[in-house]
Amino acid sequence: MTQPPPTEAQRVHTRRAFGYVTMSALLPGSVQTFAGNGAVGRFASRVYGAVAVLALLVVLGLLLFRGPTVGLLLSPAVAATLRVVLWVLFVGWVLLLLDAWRLARPLRLERTARLRLTITSLVLIAGVSVATTVAADALVAVRNVGQVFLGGGETDINDGRYNILLLGADASEERVGLRPDSINVASLDVETGETVIFGLPRNLQRIPFPESSPLNELYPAGYVCEDGACMLNGIWTLGEEHSDLFPEGDAGLTAMKQAVGETLGLDINYYALVDMAGFESLIDAMGGIRLDIAKDIPIGGGGSPIYGYIEAGENVELDGHDALWFARSRSESSDYERMVRQKCVMSAMLAQLDPLTVATSFVDLSEAGKNILRTDIGTGAVSELADLALLAKSQPIASVNFMPPLIVSADPDFELIRGTVEDTLLPKPDPTPTPSATTEESDGSSEGASVSPSPTPTPSTAAEALENPVTETDDLAQICSVG
């Protein structure tokens, strides 16, 4: 039997019912104010209105005062509280929407309109549920990030650059003290994001301490032992052994910062320590990395049998397990080659961590980062450093490794090291030719041209040292690159 067309009164009722649901979805409490329990409606309107104002203030804070606002939002206590509040607001929103559906008197609607109204309400609830879940997960990630960035580093910058000490270490129970295997300093230009990574070998000896360091009194000629066991990677443990000399802060970290800073002639602002044992979880969370690899890299070795190889090739995809072994493998290579491989992995992580991966895996990334990362970067500096990271991502990252023949690890020339660092960080000259630097090619003469003589290159320059390293591998620059 054909259902009769709805009457004008039924059409008005249908429009009013959908209006109730729509109004309640957009302005929680508004329907109850005039059609239900007025006290509940007024209370809900005030609560959700205050939330809207607070959200607007946060947006304005991010636009006008981003550093302090991000720092506040990254507070673990704030993030955890916001997550609870978010779910309370969602439950209240759902109850108000269902009450608006009830106030619309759906049982008096004709069947098709009642079904459409119910489906609309359920779709709205499902959509907001998904959005609330995503936002709650984001707050979990924010809390995890906030637990990492506890602060304590040096926020003042010199020469317009942030210098960040990057350490990779196996913090296993089998090791006595912390001995970083990977020691690098990333120097970032605060204006351009131009980045240079300086690599120091872990077996560097005779490390100097600044005059302000209490370790300078114990080792005025540098960190030297008769048996040659006093190396750069042992300074963290050395600081912990003399913790009474460092009444404030982390003794091992302070000693390491002082030693590396004095070695390179740089003021170290922050440090980031990655536990290599948990490193693979971070790589897996970002979906792996891709590298061009020039030689097979053993998996295993170093007191245990080699049970496989990471094969050479172009655009080789590495999961967390293989990326970890690529960075840490010592067999059939040298410490200097390993430094190059570690930098390849760091560069690949920076270049290949795309926004889509962050958006879809931010909780996994934050969990992995929380478990393996230690740093003294504060939440207030996260926003600025994130902007610098985006600038750095858009351009090549320069790299200088202090290895033979540039230096001899057992007896390094620290003046040469500092000079190389200074020269590398000098502003690059304008490549546009000037009249005083041009020549006219004719019969071999250059009459009328003023040419500044070029300095004769010497084997002690960083560029030539990197091109012709004396290691177990013929050309370290060809070991790997980011595809």
Strands (E), 107-190: 161-169, 182-189
For the chain, the average pLDDT equals 80
Which residues are CB-neighbours of 388 under 8 A, at least 6 positions away?
A: 162, 188, 190, 193
Share of the chain above pLDDT 70, in %: 82
What are the tokens at 419? 């000079």
Query: From start to end of 306-392, where are the E strands?
Result: 306-310, 313-318, 373-375
Share of the chain above pLDDT 90, in %: 34
pTM score, two decimals? 0.69
Which residues are CB-neighbours of 328 under 8 A, at least 6 positions away?
170, 181, 276, 338, 342
Closest CA to 108 of 16, 184, 227: 16
Instruction: Assess whether pLDDT exceeds 60 at residue 448.
Output: no
Nearest Cα residue to 17 out of 41, 35, 3: 35
Can you give the pLDDT at residue 356?
A: 59
- Is domain 161-200+260-401 classified as CATH 3.40.47.10? no
430 pLDDT band (50/70/90 cuts)?
low
Please check whether residue 20 is in contact with residue 103, taking contact to mean a CB–CB distance below 8 angstroms: yes
Beta bridge partners, 166, equal 184, 272
CA-to-CA distance for 81 and 431, rounded, in angstroms? 54
Boundaries of every domain in the chain = 8-148, 161-200+260-401
At 76-106, the pLDDT tens digits run 889 899 999 999 999 999 999 999 999 999 8
129 or 331, greater pLDDT: 129
